[in-house]
Amino acid sequence: QLQLEESGPGLVKPSETLSLTCTVSGGSMTSSSYYWGWIRQPPGKGLEWIANIYYSWDKYYNPSLESRVTISADTSKNQFSLKLSSVTAADTAVYYCARSDYTDQSYDYWGQGILVTVSS
Amino acid sequence: DIQMTQSPSSLSASVGDRVTITCRASQGISKSLAWYQQKPGKAPKLLLYAASRLESGVPSRFSGSGSGTDYTLTISSLQPEDFATYYCQQYYSTPITFGQGTRLEIK
């Protein structure tokens, strides 16, 4: 059974960089059939797509965040990562990593989510 | 960006009721639509994709339909475990966008 697990600091200071890692177990990231992505959800609000990566070189970003976001993957470790720079309180959210089918880009497996709070 | 508008934003219903939630896209999305269920403190769960295809393991009381810009999620007979928030998502073009959510509450 595929599992995804987010890890990283739960508290980040304003203007600093948020860094999260998603570890994939029970399956390989090198399958050609999937994208791997990040989605976030501010407390009490809806879902916002951040970025997708295919293998380690094909990357897609939400234009609203693109200037501050980097997604990367280390397929040898079965991990992918998110970096979000110059964070503010508006970046406080639960961050989810997830897998989507390459053809039907719906997210079928999700991590449990990690709450990241931006505060001094 | 394609805007996804769900209606209603909230809904009260009883066990056994038939419920329909609507999602409207700001432009045609060729059935590139998924529906998710989210319970408090949990990650979203995929229910349907390609507008009407049921994800493996999802009960058949969930169904989806639609084309072009208008899509619906129907729960044929509400069960206690169905009270949750539901989101639609379009993947026709990037950026991928979600509806604002429909909160389904017990009447």
Which residues 37-66 of B are in CB contact (within 8 Å) with A? 42-46, 49-50, 53, 55
Q: Does B90 or A27 have the greater pLDDT score?
A: B90
CB A2 within 8 A of CB A26: yes
- Mean pLDDT rounded to a whole number for chain A: 95
Nearest chain B CA: its distance from A39 CA (Å): 10
- Residue A57, pLDDT score: 83
- Residue A110, pLDDT score: 98
- Residue B56, pLDDT score: 96
- Residue B88, pLDDT score: 98
- Residue A3, chain B, CB below 8 Å: the answer is no
Contact B49 A104 (CB under 8 A): yes
Give the whole-number percent of chain B exceeding pLDDT 70.
Answer: 100
Please determine, for residue B57, whether its predicted confidence score (pLDDT) is greater than 80: yes
- Region B57-77: what's the mean pLDDT? 97
Q: How far apart are CA A80 and CA B23, in angstroms?
A: 31
Q: Range with the lowest mean pLDDT among A14-18, A56-60, B89-93, B100-104?
A: A56-60
Which residues in chain B have their CB less than 8 angstroms from residue A47's CB? 36, 44, 87, 89, 98, 101
CB B62 within 8 A of CB B48: yes
Please determine, for residue B24, whether its predicted confidence score (pLDDT) is greater than 80: yes
Please determine, for residue A31, whether its predicted confidence score (pLDDT) is greater than 90: no
Contact A100 B99 (CB under 8 A): no
Nearest chain B CA: its distance from A106 CA (Å): 6
- Residue A60, chain B, CB below 8 Å: the answer is yes
Contact B43 A112 (CB under 8 A): yes
- Region B32-54: what's the mean pLDDT? 98
- Residue A111, chain B, CB below 8 Å: the answer is yes
List pLDDT tens digits, range A55-110. Answer: 878 999 999 999 999 999 998 999 999 999 999 999 999 999 999 998 889 999 99
Q: How crowded is residue A40: how many other Cβ atoms within 10 Å of its Cβ?
A: 24
DSSP A47-104: -EEEEEEETTTEEEE-TTTTTTEEEEEETTTTEEEEEE-S--GGG-EEEEEEEEESSS
Give the whole-number percent of chain B exceeding pLDDT 90.
Answer: 98
For an interface test with B, give the residue of A36, A105, A114 to mutate (most B CBs within 10 A): A105
- Region B86-105: what's the mean pLDDT? 97
- Region B75-88: what's the mean pLDDT? 96
- Residue A30, pLDDT score: 84
- Residue A55, pLDDT score: 81
